[in-house]
Amino acid sequence: MARKPLPKIDHLNLNELNKLIEQAEALRESRKEDAKTEFMDKMRKEALAAGLSLDALMGRAPSGRRKRSDAGVKLKPKFVGPNGETYTGRGPTPKWLKDLEAKGVNRNKYLVKG
């Protein structure tokens, strides 16, 4: 495929050059997105022809998100409350810890050492 020679740009002033650069960058991004979409469509078709799911091949769950590498692994408690309550530090903060923080207690007081 023969390429057209690039237009002469020596005569452009600074504003015109900046506008040309913006247009070129927008066109480049558009072409990258088009290429990505085309490639993904091709890969989906090939995976389907092989009886596979592209999401499964990419390690993604049906929702499109990757499965956590530590999914199903029991986590050690990061905080232990005054009555033996535990909190791993993931997910919503438990009520017992919120209540203590509301009273002005620093959560690091209940941090598990080690």
In this prediction, residue 113 carries a pLDDT of 83
In this prediction, residue 73 carries a pLDDT of 84
Mean pLDDT, range 63-85, rounded to an integer: 82
Strand-pair partners of 80: 86
Q: How confident is the model at residue 95 (pLDDT cuts 50, 70, 90)?
A: very high
One-character DSSP codes across 2-41: PPPPPPP-TT--HHHHHHHHHHHHHHHHHHHHHHHHHHHH
In this prediction, residue 53 carries a pLDDT of 82
- pTM metric for this prediction: 0.45
